[in-house]
Structure 1
Amino acid sequence: MSVDLTTRIWSRLRPDDRAWLESLARLAGPDARVALVGGAVRDALLGSTPLDLDVVVEGVDIEALARAAGLPLTFHPTFQNATVTLPDGRTADLVRARRETYPVAGQNPVPTPGTLEDDLRRRDFGVNALALTVSPAGPVAVLDVAGGLDDLHARTLRPLHRHSFSDDASRLVRGARLATRLALEAHPELLAQVPDALELADRTPRLWAELKLLLAEPRPGAALHTMRAWGAGSLLPDTPLLDALDDLRGQGQTVTPQTYAAALLHASAEPDALAARLELGDRPAALLARACSDTFYPDGTPERQLRALLRPDAHVPLTGKDVLALGVPPGRAVGEALAHLAGLRRAGQLHSEGDERAELRSYLAGKRPRRGP
């Protein structure tokens, strides 16, 4: 494999990440193989600095290696993996090289020990099946057992085998997230497997977890468009609200995943069922309710962002400051004036800020005591 590719990947890693990988290789010993795999290798080859690190190790006990590294960790005995917390707070996964089989389609796989090559072949897409082997002195070679380099060159997202989406339907959504983020085109084999994923969607809890992760993508609306283009738009409600929120992000506004989730709930015929399937909790629904209310929220808040999209003709209601500005002393009278306006607003009798100001003046005039002769 080209030395240039090895150098390109290694140079894209942060110095402290390079040092950590070298220390792992040193701790693993000469009979083990240590490799950086998956997204980090892919992203480095595409020119970005990888932040998420996945490391596959062959020939050594993972728990012992993780503990020898001296960093905080959580060990997962079923898959013999460890999640390590790096000094800067990021997490990295240490994975035992393994094979996987799927006795029941859509359910968790059964792992068995394997080689580094086996571990790469069990992955979802060619662009994620690349590895950089590492020694105590640094990088050794790029390992490509599934044609991932050709896929990267062609900007193609290709499943590794024809039963990929039957084994794990969540790969459909993960692929849409990846294709949108990296501007990859779907390989014909991917499109041919979409019906398999849709058939198994209800039996694949991981697919719904991936849909929730889609809401945290840089452009969730664009990712949903990708799914529709692939024939999988039925998994989430069709709404232009997500595109509009993408536009706000493009303009530099902060748009939270909860705002995207609230927009989906608004478009859903069964919002409670959708919230349960995506495990959204109560906060997106509460946000949607606030956005649909007449309560004042400042510019830039999620409530104000959603309200502007859901009710573009809605005016900004008056606040306590407006009441105080008309000479009403602080206290109960301010709340009563605002409650009066809110009631008329709900009844559809106030349509603009001017309407509210006129009504407020009339209301206050009626409340003030008449002066004597």
Structure 2
Amino acid sequence: MQADVLVIGAGLAGLWSAILHAQAGRKVTLLAKGQGTLPWSSGCLDLVPQQPTNPDHPYSKLQTALEPATHAWLKFSQQQDYRFVANLKQHYWLPTAIGTWRPTNAVPLTMLNAERSIISSYRVLVLGFRELRDFFPPLLSARLTQQGLAARGCYLTMPPSQRSRDFNSANLARLCEHASFRQALIKQIDQIRGDAQLLLFPAVLGISHTTSIINELQTALGCLVAEVPTLPTNVAGLRLQRMLMTELERLNGRIQLNAEVIRGEFVDRRLVAVYSAAAAREQRHTADHYILATGGIGGGGLRADYPNGLRETALNLPVQQPNQRDQWFEANVHAQHQLFTSGIAVNQQLQPIDAEQQPIAENVQVVGAALAGCDPIRERWVEGLALASATFGFESRAFRG
């Protein structure tokens, strides 16, 4: 069955694009080679680039879409019972698992009580499990204490469960979905809480019912609760992925994972089909409109083939990149490296363009980190780029045409 819109990529940009078009009543198919990068994210949204922009920076095109995209996200998160707060003019500062402070623009309410201006008013107890690797309550509490906060850390004893080993953050989050597991935690915490007014947990308080779990803990223990993002795989990122995929399926969108797009078929400046890898033979997919959301180097949308340069992996679109490989990196490791600003050059409609600035395919748009001219990880606006470009592309006259 031919789709109206075919999205390539299952990250935030691809899923948000797919949802916008499905909400408009279009038949949407999403193809991806894997789960996308959301599980590797903090679960917060970095929305505004952190360095001055130039006329070729994607922000110059997309900034008008950022505010409506943010409002749409806030409405969506409320509908999903996993509310966010956002501020495009200043940052929220949240602790990391090692006690440093990380700026961001949009925060789930599950983490908001850990924000620097809030947490400083409370006596803090950091809680965790010895079985959970890479989250150490004594380390986090010591770092907070060094910065003038009243904090102490304590390990909890793992309540009995059917799992005896490999307690990663996702497994713990699933255990927290069980009432008996939570009741055992509440009983244990009540005995060690002392005068603590705010409890900090690693982000493992459920995957699907986090809001109700935190409300239950706060009511039972009589104090505030907040989560701290863990190292990848991060449950807070998994929650976003689950929310987005569930919503797309509810809107009758079709999601096909393990379907890596390996080439496209172009006729007269239009993409007429894409082909995904399959066990026996390539699978052909057709649509009226295509959205490339495979990401940049970090997401696998761009790949370096020695001794050649970067190539775009799905449709073999031309990549805007340094002429020589020795120009990829600067001598100063802290400088801006040209490699990471490489990507697909587009016009004002986000259509990929050739060296003569002409659209390569009028029914293709590029969204997210595959866009050339910025380094979203360094600039701290991975999610802002994804949401704004998906919204801008959806509203573009290129699609309506």
TM-score range, shorter chain: under 0.3
Higher RCO (C-alpha 8 Å, min separation 6): 2
Q: Please, what TM-score do these two structures have when normalized by structure 2?
A: 0.23
**Higher CA-based Rg:** 1
Q: Please, what TM-score do these two structures have when normalized by structure 1?
A: 0.25
